[in-house]
Every structure is written in C-alpha cells, then in structure tokens.
Chain A
Amino acid sequence: GQNIDQPTEMTATEGAIVQINCTYQTSGFNGLFWYQQHAGEAPTFLSYNVLDGLEEKGRFSSFLSRSKGYSYLLLKELQMKDSASYLCAVRDNTNAGKSTFGDGTTLTVKP
C-alpha cells in the first residue's frame, strides 16, 4: 500500500516563494504527480517526477528524492490566484498503475 503525508495548510505572501512538502511510502514507486485544485473545481495537473532531481515549469518546480521518499513543490512569485489546494499523488507499479492522492495542502496567499 501507500501512505502520503503533506501539510494541511500553509499561508504565504504575494510575491514570495513557498515550498510544499510531500513524503510517501510505497511498495513500488512509478512516479509522483502534483495537482492544483481550486475550490469547487476538478484537479489540474502541475508536474510529474519519476527520476531524482528538479523539474522546472515556469513559476512552479517540483523535486523528487526516491531514496528519501520525499518531494516538494516550489511556487515562486506567488500570486493571489495561487490560493488553492495542492495534491501530491504517487503512482504504484504494483497496483495496476493506480495513483494514491495525499489529503492536499491548502495554500492561502495573502496580499
């Protein structure tokens, strides 16, 4: 099975940088995904890591360390519209390719 932990809530200031951490335990790692979900909307894909290291995509970057079971999502130059829930999801290659989602981190960006 899988166990995914991420902080419940975070608050940051507009223009700042915030790092959302995710730790996981899995029997067969096959990729980690980050999703953004605004209130009342469906999750949208942000980033994907399967190898160790940093993946950068504009203001968003995601890092993975498979040996530590650890990932983070880095958001730079925060904007008010970044206020949302951020979901960490791990795909398990021993579980028919299914992904397990963490409980999400609710980020509030303040002026």
Chain B
Amino acid sequence: SAVISQKPSRDICQRGTSLTIQCQVDSQVTMMFWYRQQPGQSLTLIATANQGSEATYESGFVIDKFPISRPNLTFSTLTVSNMSPEDSSIYLCSVDSGEGQPQHFGDGTRLSIL
C-alpha cells in the first residue's frame, strides 16, 4: 500500500491566519482526497485534488477557504485560510490506489485555532 507523509502533524494557530498542509505519497496515485474530522465525528470530504486542474469541492466547502494544489501525481497541499476556532479539527490526506483498492490515509494534521 502507498506510504503517505503528511505534515505538519499538529499546529496551534492564531485566528485570521492561514496554514498549508502538505501530503506526499511514495508512489503515483490517481485520486487524492482531503478530509476533515471534527472532534467525535466521522470523516467529511472537503475536496478531490485533481492533478493539473482545479480541485473538485464538496457542498459546503469553497476554494477561497480551502485552496488546494496538486502539481503532480505524488503531492498535494491543502490551505486552511483565514482560520477561526470552528476550523479546529483533524485534516486528513487520503489516496485511492485504484479499482478494488481501499483508500489509505496520512497520519493527519491536528489543528487548533486560538
């Protein structure tokens, strides 16, 4: 299975600032996803990171708030912009290795906004 490196693993940020989270995969993958998991809740898909084109956002998430880059098949970034306490959450990068294969997850970024 793919090895996924996600960083930072955690951060504490000030209200109104932005943070960029990086996701590096050890092999080329077609599908990369960004999820949010708020305390005590399940995973919510933010967007699908598309290589060479704009990300596809889920309902309730917009590019201005969560800009995503996917410059190649092994790397993606998610930026959480103009942060507020409501953005305190775990953000997870995930990759899909193909038909019949499960999604695999990075270790997550634990974000707290003061």
Chain A complexes with chain B = yes
A-B CB contacts (within 8 Å), total count? 41
Q: For the complex, is A50 an interface residue (Cβ under 8 Å from B)?
A: yes
Q: Is the CB of B107 within 8 A of A42?
A: yes
Q: Is the CB of A103 within 8 A of B41?
A: yes
Q: A42-B107, A98-B45 are in contact. Are A33 and B102 (CB under 8 A)?
A: yes
CB distance from B7 to the nearest CB of A (A): 13
* Complex-state Cα separation, A99 to B1, whole angstroms: 18
* Complex-state Cα separation, A89 to B106, whole angstroms: 17
CB distance from B93 to the nearest CB of A (A): 9
Question: B105: which A residues are within 8 A, CB to CB?
Answer: 42-44
* Complex-state Cα separation, A41 to B96, whole angstroms: 19
Q: A42-B105, A96-B56 are in contact. Are A31 and B100 (CB under 8 A)?
A: yes
Q: For the complex, is B43 an interface residue (Cβ under 8 Å from A)?
A: yes
Question: B107: which A residues are within 8 A, CB to CB?
Answer: 41-42
In chain A between 71 and 111, which residues have their CB closer than 8 angstroms to a CB of chain B? 87, 89, 96-104
**Using a Cβ–Cβ cut-off of 8 Å, how many residues does chain B contribute to the interface with A?**
19
Kindly report which residue of chain B lies nearest to residue A48, judged by CB atoms: B102
CB distance from B92 to the nearest CB of A (A): 6
Kindly report which residue of chain A lies nearest to residue B92, judged by CB atoms: A42
Q: For the complex, is B73 an interface residue (Cβ under 8 Å from A)?
A: no
* Complex-state Cα separation, A43 to B35, whole angstroms: 12
Question: B106: which A residues are within 8 A, CB to CB?
Answer: 42
Question: B100: which A residues are within 8 A, CB to CB?
Answer: 31, 48, 50
Kindly report which residue of chain A lies nearest to residue B103, judged by CB atoms: A99
Question: 30 A–B contact pairs at CB < 8 A?
Answer: A33-B102, A33-B103, A35-B102, A41-B107, A41-B108, A42-B92, A42-B105, A42-B106, A42-B107, A42-B108, A43-B92, A43-B105, A44-B105, A45-B1, A45-B103, A45-B104, A48-B100, A48-B102, A50-B100, A87-B43, A89-B103, A96-B56, A97-B31, A98-B33, A98-B45, A99-B96, A101-B42, A102-B42, A103-B42, A104-B42
